[in-house]
Every structure is written in structure tokens, then in C-alpha cells.
A and B are shown apart, each in its own frame.
Chain A
């Protein structure tokens, strides 16, 4: 499995969706509930038979709606497509049955619409407009940024605008993120070693961080509480924090991992906590008070939390 996302529209329970990645068996989406009072994990399974899941994201408005990027394989070709789905009603809020009970209760997702990418390319990821009404999504396909409008009952996706990255060679976006600030009009994308910021209203590039990492940039995340602050991680084993108003130098650089860093995420309430996962089989939680919105000196524990847990965020 490579794809994991929180259920963004859910504010009470702690729930994650995980997509499987298997070439041989039917793929699934697991809805995982974490009950933090009792420390119990519950799971429900949904079938996603169209293909292995490479990226998954949930709607910020409707708890039951999600989007996936999946591989459609034929004998000669593999195409990464994207689609929007709806979960069965009763699973939206999870269920707290004990794990033994969930035996063969696998239900299916209802396909709402495809994001047509025949003109563009392989979909790398799908981003929902944060804090929006769940009607706007952006997908990154090869070197294109596509902004979609989901019609009424989300059963049709209409391409409302797009932008393409021009340049030499085969440019390909690897990941992107929608900034929750500036009225949700900015996104950041990563292609090769460059991070670019775009304005979604004009579909123009706003800023560009060249050579953000020595090698490929793998993931980005915006600081939820501080405007202009962006974190990126890449194959040079580093995590870098940027102020998008001054992109010549990173504000801070972390070199804790010993191999490629695949993911970086801010904690949404305490933005001094940053989680990073790497293919050196480590997940590191870092405490970056100096660049967070937390007033300095108010934290009780000041030392860096470096929990090196041998969990596998991506199954390795």
C-alpha cells in the first residue's frame, strides 16, 4: 500500500483511508478508525476493483466522497487514471464493531465520475480545495495542472481551466498540495528538483524554487497556521522548510533520514510537529518550534521529539 489519507471532512473521529496496491488481487480501500480512548483500531473494507491505488484523497465537505489515482493495466500499457467515488452511507462515520466481525463484509464504492485524462497523461495526484464545498479539485497529469468543477451531485467533472509546464525534456509533476491560505487560491507542485507555486485563478506560476533538493522532490506540505510556509522533502534525504516570499534559501533544513524522504506532513493543530517518512524504514516526528506559529517558550517540553518508530507508513 502506498496511499493513505485522513478523512478530511471528519472532525471528531480519527479516521484514515488506506488504498492497497496489488497487481494480482482486487484492490481495496480500508477505512481505519482509531479509538484513542481505548486504543483500538477498527477497520472496514471497500472494494476498489478498477486497479491498484497510487494516491487517495478525501473531500473536505462530504465525508463520503473520495478520489483515487489508480493504475489501469492492459497487456501493453499502464495508464494512471483518476476517479471520484462515494462510500456507502453507513460507513461514512465508521463503525465500531470489533475486528472479528468484519469478515466478508466488503462493500463497493459507487463511482461518481472519472477525471478524463485521455488528452493529458498519467495522473499523479488529486487535490481537493481545502475548506471548500467539495466541488473543486485539481489533478496533476504529467506536465499539466487541471482544475475540475464537480457538477451538482458530483456525477460529472468538467475541466474548467488548465496550465501546462513548458520546457525541455519530459517534465512530469511528482506531487502537489493546495495551500489552505490566501482564500485557497494557491497550489504548489513539484517536478524533478523544482517546486513551483501557482495561482489557481489565473493558472500562472507565482514563485519557483529551483534546485529545492539535490535530487527529486517527493512531497510538499503547507503549514496550516502560518501563511507562506512550505515544507518539502526529497531524494537527497533532506526536509527543507521554505518561506515562499524569499525562495533563495530554505528557512531550515533537516537531515535526519539516511535515505529518500517520501512524505512530509504538518500536524494540523500543532504546526510545530512535523512527520516524515522515508525509505530508510524510519518515521520521524520532529518538533520545529522556531518556525511554527507557537509562541516561543510556551511549550512545556522543549526538546526535540525524535521518535524513531519502526512503523511502516508505506509497507516496505
Chain B
């Protein structure tokens, strides 16, 4: 009897099933319970299908459940579902044995729509993608860290949850494999990366690098969590994004350094050109040089400190292979430090090679001197210091791409310094030479009167050369001078140069006689030391001064040879020459050079004179002393 009672109860519950189902499946009911009930009943119903009454129940409940399924499906399309409800819905549908492929499609598209909405919110913050480049866009409303935060927590977080629930729902079901999920996720993450890149592009100027680093770090960490679930979602793309951002920032720093250097140069030029109140000394060149060098170095160190934020130990992405290797070597050492040093040398050199001939305002000679010294210092010490510092902060890999060796950079610096110094000598030499040239060309050498004093232009020449000596002496050391002979300062400026050429004037005239004596003196010139006029100078004061004096005196020589002098003209040249010799010998590395050139001037003057009667030497000395 108890068995029968149990059976009767079961039957009763079975009959009640449709009613219950209907109640629960109705909107507002509890579909979960309906499902459970149905699940329990289903097996029994199936078993007794052959009985018509059971069949009816089964059909009815089946219809109700189908209804329910339709309802649920309709609910799926409702946008207001949150992920949890969505999951429940899908779960129930799965239990209702709806086809999994369709379900996962619906699931993904629904979830996808939600995620898209989140991305759209992020995109709304960005100005419209303007293909024509950065128009005058207003600065973004929030900073980059905020943007990344929201993106990471909302989008990435939700994507993670989605992936997890997908897996739990559809694991192992046919037709709903991981591939679909991965494709779905990859597409969305690609969009996310794009938005992030656009946002990064909005970072104007150098802003706050630490903020950028933190933002990238956060992005990278959240991404890592996602990638653990879905490795194919875009590991490389994410890493590449971070790498690109870092590289771009480093490039910006390079440009900022370049601008800074040009600014410093502008300051130096202004300081050199500023009108000075009388009696007050101008800015000393060593001070200007020290300021320039230290500001550049200071700025470079600051930049390196900023860039080092990218490789700090507590930064997650710093352990990426890119940052350990390529970033240090290519982006920082080569792309920033080496590139900057090279650019500096090129720019300095440009002052010497530049189109100064075309009438453009040329660099002031003091600037040339300053830059020459700067490059020389760079070659000597600064470059190796900078490279050591860089290598310390950004240790290079052993097997990495080729690095520029320090000596190569030093060679470039030295080349620039040499070019600048040569150019300085040429410019200063040309200035003095021009004075001398004008003085010879415009004077009436035939009709001049007996010389009473040294010509003013010669005094100016000596003054200018003294000033140049002081200027160069501020930045370069003295250099080696040939030991002077005892009577150097009293050496007579003789019209007939004593030791070298023999007397030039054969007493008898035959057609070939002048040829002989000239031939002899020319042969002698071949064997005496040739004076190279525009030759590279060494990095010391006497070499520079000697170069300038050589250029000036050679010009004097060539110009005298083009004129015809009268007797007093010759005597004036004699007086001027002696004066120059008195004062210029001490500037040259080898006083014989000055002596030799002045001897040639004298000889040429005699040659060009109609009536060569030189002045008494004592009178010449008297005039010079008075002058």
C-alpha cells in the first residue's frame, strides 16, 4: 500500500507538472524552478511516452518549455541585460538543449555590443580622427592615466569576465569552440589598442613622463591578465604599442634637446653682441663656454633620468625583451645620446661650412672660437663621460645591434673643432688682410711725401691682432714657441735681406741677365721652407695667431707687388714693415716666419720702386719708437 501511495503521489506530481510549469514559465515567474521541475519530469515522461495521457503531459510541458525558450531568447536580445543575467539566460537555454552554436553566437554578439558601448564611451573622449593631422584640437579632458584606468577596468575587466563565463558555459560543447571566442576578443582588443594609440598621440609636448609610464604600466598589467586567459588576443600588439609609445617619447626628448641647444647658442650670441657700457668688460669667453657646456650636460642628464623611468624595476613592462635590449641600445643610446652628440657636432660645423659667402649674416668669430673649444672638450672628456653614464643607466646587451663606438664620435667632434678653428683663422685673417689691401690699393705711392710716422692702418692692424691674441688666449693654451734669438726684438728690418738671396742687380744689362738672378732667387725659394698660408692650425694660441699673421702679410705682399712706388713710397713701406716686425714677432710660433714674409714684402717693394733709396735705419727706428 505505501508503494501505491508513492506511485500515486508521483503520478499526481506528474500531472501537475504542466500547471506548475505554466506558472513558473510565465513572465515574472521563476524559470529556474521550471527548468528543474522539467528536468526531473522529463526522464519519466520520456519513458512512458507510449501512454497517451503521459504523452499529452509531455507534449504540453514541451510546448510550455518551448515557449519559455522563446521568451528567454527574446530576453537575450534585450540590451539591458547585465552579464550575470545573460549568463543565467544562456545557461538555461543550454539546459533546454538549444543548439550551442546559435547560443554562443547570440551570447557573443550581446556581450560584444556591451563592450562596444564601453569602447564608444572611451572614444567619445577623443577628438574625431582627423586624417589631415593634428588640427587645433583641445587638450583631452582627462589625463592619460585616467583614460587607461577606465579603459582597463571597464573594458578589459569585462572582457576577462566574458571570456571566463564563455569558457564555463560552452566548454566542451560541440560547435562552440575557443576559436570563436579568440577571434571575437582579438577584434575587440585591436579596437581598444587603436583607441589607446590615438589617445597617446594626443600627448602634446613632454608633459609628465612619469604619468605616461604609470599609464602604460597599468595598461600592460591588465593586459597581461587578459592574455593569460586568451593568449591570442594580442600579446605582440600590446607590447608593440608600449614600445612605440616609449620610442616616440624618446624621440621627443631628442628634439627638445636640440631646441635647447639652439636656445643656448642664441643666448651666447646675444651675450656676445650686447652693447657694453664703456669701461665694463664684456662676458668672458671662458664663462660663456662653461655655462654653455654645463647647461647642455645638465639637460642631457635630466633627460636620461626621465627616460630611465621606462626601465625602472617596478615597472611591469620593463621586463619585456624589447625594453631590456633594443630600447636601451637603439632608442636611448643610439637614438638619443649618440644622435644628439652627432647633431651637435654637425650643427657646430655648420657655422664654418655654412653659406657665409653668400652674404648671409655670418657667425661672430668669438662664437666660432667658442664652439671649437666646446667640440674639443667634447672630444677630450665629455663624450666618454656621457657614454659611460648612458651605459650605466641603460646596460647594453652583449649580443645586440651594432653600437657606435666612442672613438668614432670623438673623431667627429675633433673634425668639427678643426674646421671651426680653421674657419676662425680664415675669417680673422681676411678681416686684417682686407684692411691692409685697402690701405695699399688706395694710397698714392708715387706722389707720397717723406714718411714721418707709421701709417695709422698699421697701428690698427697691431691692435686688432693683439685683441685676437687676447680672445684666443681666453680659450686655448699658449702653445710652443720657438726660442727667440737674443736680438730678435732689435732685428733690423733690412731692405736688402741679408742671409738669403744674393744681390739681385747685375751691373751690366744683357737680355738674359735679369733672368739669371731671378732664376737664382727663385731656385733658392724652392729649397727654403715653403710657407703654407691657408693650412690647418693646431689647437693652441700661437698656431692660430701665426695663421692669421701669415694670411695678412701675404696679402700685403701680393698687393705691394701690384703697385708702383716712388722713393718715399718705398720708405713708407720700410717704416711700416719695421713697425709690424717690432710688434708682431711675439705672436707667432716662429718669428722667422714673420721675418721671412716681411723680408719678401721689402724685396718686392724695392723691385717695384722707381727710385729705390731706402731710409736710414736709425731714422726708421726713431719713427717707429715715436709711433
Contact = CB atoms under 8 A, between A and B. Distances in A.
Q: Do A and B come from one complex?
A: yes
Interface of A: 20, 22-25, 28, 45, 71, 73, 75-78, 103-104, 106, 210-211, 213-215, 236-237, 258-260, 279-281, 310, 312, 315-316
B352 to A, nearest CB: 13
Contacts of A312: 522
B302 interface: no
B577 to A, nearest CB: 19
Nearest to A212: B357
B608 A279 contact: no
Given A23-B610, A28-B511, A211 B357 contact: yes
B522 A23 contact: no
B626 interface: no
Nearest to A170: B442
Given A76-B446, A78-B564, A310-B526, A211 B534 contact: no
Given A73-B564, A76-B447, A215-B430, A22 B525 contact: no
A106 B511 contact: yes
A75 B446 contact: yes
B514 interface: yes
> Lowest 10 A-B CB distances belong to which pairs?
A214-B357, A259-B533, A258-B534, A78-B564, A76-B447, A45-B511, A23-B610, A258-B532, A258-B533, A211-B358
A76 B610 CA distance: 11
6 contacts: A76-B446, A76-B447, A78-B446, A104-B511, A214-B357, A237-B534
A264 to B, nearest CB: 17
Contact of A211 (B359, B509, B522): B359
Nearest to A248: B358
Contacts of B534: 237, 258-259
Contacts of A237: 534
Interface string B409-449: 00000000000000000000010000000000000001100
Interface string B537-575: 000000000000000001000100000101000000000
A73 B609 CA distance: 11
B533 A315 contact: no
B564 A258 contact: no
B535 interface: yes
A210 B509 CA distance: 47
A316 B446 contact: no
B530 interface: yes
A23 B358 CA distance: 40
Contacts of B447: 76-77
A316 B511 contact: no
Contact of A260 (B358, B510, B558, B608): B558
Contact of A77 (B446, B522, B525): B446
B586 interface: no
A312 B522 CA distance: 9
B601 to A, nearest CB: 13
B608 A23 contact: yes
B566 A75 contact: yes
Contacts of B533: 258-259, 280
Contacts of A280: 532-533
For A22, A23, A258, A281, the residue with the greatest tally of chain B CB atoms inside 10 Å of its CB is A23
B609 A23 contact: yes
Contact of A236 (B357, B511, B558): B357
B36 interface: no
Nearest to B604: A316
Contacts of B510: 104
Nearest to B445: A78
Nearest to A281: B530
A77 B525 CA distance: 33
